[in-house]
Amino acid sequence: MDTLEAKQPKVTGTPNDTAHKALDRIPETTLSQKEIEDRLISARISMLLQCPFYGNLACRLEMRDATDWCPTAATDGRYFYYNRNFVSALSIPNLVFLWGHEVEHCVYDHFGRRGDRNPMLWNIANDYIVNDDLIEGGVGEKITLVEICHDWKYRGWTSEEVYADLFKQAEEEGRVIDMSTLDVHLDMEDGDDEGAGGNGQEDGDGKGPAKYTAEQKREIKEAFKNATIQAAKSAGAGKLPSGIKRLVKDLVNPQISWRELLPQQIQSVIRSDYTFHTPSRKGMNEGIWLPGMDREQTIDIAVAMDTSGSMTDDMSRDILSEIKGVMDQYTDFKIHLFCFDTEVHNPQEFTDANMDDFMEYEVMGGGGTDFDCCFDYMKEQGIVPKKFIMFTDGYPWSSWGDESYCDTLFIVHGGGYGGKIPEAPFGITVPYERKD
């Protein structure tokens, strides 16, 4: 069966085609090499003052004249390749935009995310994302010397989503995608390049970009990722475009897996205190008696499964299996489990006495989605859990429930473009992900 990646959409040009007609009208520059570099340095200084996040990262890229093979600009995460004539024809604010364009390709790791997608269409999708960010964030001035990919339709999308949309236009609607990217997109997929030198060497004739081994590519990628984190911490993310801000947030505060978070949250409800009934062994040899830890081992939680129609049988089994796995660690527990849509279904209480029945629990429901019914049910039944865990798609009809009733963990399997999930206004929200 054909997959989205395996099909070849109707796209003209080559992956690195920047054959803008306007480029033919750009005259050969009369500026010296030093003057060209001074213009690029001036643009970087402007970035450091006006948009330090971009400026810090731009300073990591070593400038390299690539006029012989590059019509505009390019990057591989280590070098900023440029065409002298193109740089000469741009204003300083335009050059800020150009620097920002190359920086974002590195930040988003557009080199390593293509997979089996059509290279040209993938490059176009990347440019839509990058140019949208820069224009939204006011990073320099939009380049008009050549036509660039920009459409507010794609604001807030990911490259994968833009690619899918362009692919649909090409395959289902019969449209031929005849566009060009602003810059040359270098293929940095893992794999050893023949002739790659220890520090990244140019082709033998000096007419192409540097070649790297697979290990060097991974090192470049990791180094830029770390630099991005440091740039975000030092410059702040307050004025960044929304797409970059989300990415930086994920890098600085990586999202923990719900499978890791769930046992941590359950463990957090176990109270600890000091008691002389179990004195600490520390100091006994010296005749010093100190109180030891007295841990309350009772686990008392409530678990609600949103069965409004978006949860599959596999997800239900996955969730029940994870909860049982955590409970197997304890000998004293109470689990209030129920399903819900607009009302609560099949509420049951599990303890160590009937835990063998847990995996036979029947999932019920399938109507709308009302989070309030969960809290109303617990109040009516006098259930006050130490932790309330809700598996949901994150789209309630009205409110997310009673914030003040109990500590709540929302594990959300819904989401729109790019896997972005709805976030609860209280408690902890973490995305649901299936095991590979």
Tell me the per-residue pLDDT of 37-79, one tens digit each, with 9 for 90 and over: 999 999 999 999 999 999 999 999 999 999 999 999 999 999 9
- The closest of 387, 377, 262, 255 to 319, measured between CA atoms, is 262
Sheet containing strand 408-412, edge to edge, reads 344-351, 333-340, 299-306, 387-392, 408-412, 428-431
Q: What is the mean pLDDT of residues 12-25?
A: 57
User: Is the separation of the CB atoms in 203 and 195 below 8 Å?
Assistant: yes
pLDDT in tens, 369-417: 899 999 999 999 999 998 999 999 888 988 999 999 999 999 988 654 4
Highest mean pLDDT among 245-254, 275-284, 403-412: 403-412
Q: Give the Cα-Cα-Cα angle 89, 92, 94 (nearest 5 degrees).
A: 70
Residue 415 near residue 395, CB atoms below 8 Å: no
Q: Do residues 422 and 414 lie in contact, with contact meaning Cβ atoms separated by under 8 Å? A: yes
The CA distance from 44 to 415, in Å, is 37
Mean per-residue pLDDT, 79-88: 96
Distance from the first to the final alpha carbon of the chain: 21
Mean pLDDT of 75-88: 96
Position 380 scores a pLDDT of 96
- Read off φ and ψ for residue 94, nearest 5 degrees: -65, -40
**Spatial distance between the Cα atoms of 113 and 105, rounded to a whole number of angstroms:** 11
pLDDT value of position 33: 95
Inter-CA distances, 381 with 200, 266, 311, 385, 436, Å? 68, 22, 26, 11, 38
Q: Flag whether pLDDT at 204 surpasses 50.
A: no
Pairing of strands 299-306, 333-340: parallel
Q: Using CA atoms, how far apart are residues 50 and 274, in angstroms rounded to an integer?
A: 55
Q: Is the pTM of this model over 0.75?
A: no
The yes-or-no verdict on residue 137 having pLDDT over 50 is yes
**Average pLDDT over every residue of 246-261:** 71
Please give, one letter per residue, the 3-state secondary structure of the chain.
Answer: CCCCCCCCCCECCCCCCCCCHHHHHCCCCCCCHHHHHHHHHHHHHHHHHHCHHHHHHHCCCEEEECCCCCCCEEECCCEEEECHHHHHHCCHHHHHHHHHHHHHHHHCCCCCCCCCCCHHHHHHHHHHHHHHHHHHHCCCCCCCCCCCCCCHHHCCCCHHHHHHHHHHHHHCCCCCECCCCCCEECCCCCCCCCCCCCCCECCCCCCCCCECCHHHHHHHHHHHHHHHHHHHHHHCCCCCCHHHHHHHHHHHCCCCCHHHHHHHHHHCCCCEEEEEEEEECCCHHHCCCEEEEEECCCEEEEEEEECCCCCCHHHHHHHHHHHHHHHCCCCCEEEEEEEECCCEEEEEEEECCCHHHHHHCCCCCCCCCCCHHHHHHHHHHCCCCCEEEEEECCCCCCCCCCCCCCCEEEEECCCCHHHCCCCCCCCEEEECCCCC
Residue 158 pLDDT level (bands cut at 50, 70, 90): confident
Give me the mean pLDDT over the 323-347 stretch: 87
Q: What is the mean pLDDT of the chain?
A: 81
Give residue 416's pLDDT. Answer: 46
The pLDDT, as a whole number, for residue 61 is 96
Radius of gyration, CA atoms only, the chain: 28
Q: Are 405 and 412 in contact (CB under 8 A)?
A: no
Which residue(s) pair with 410 in the sheet? 390, 429
- Other Cβ atoms less than 10 A from the Cβ of 95: the count is 25
Using a pLDDT cut of 70, give the percent of the chain over it: 77
C-alpha 351/C-alpha 358 separation (Å) is: 9
HSE, CB side, 13 Å, CA atoms: give it for residue 144: 4
Q: What domains sit in the chain, N to C, each tagged with a CATH number?
A: 21-193+211-252 (no CATH), 258-431 (3.40.50)
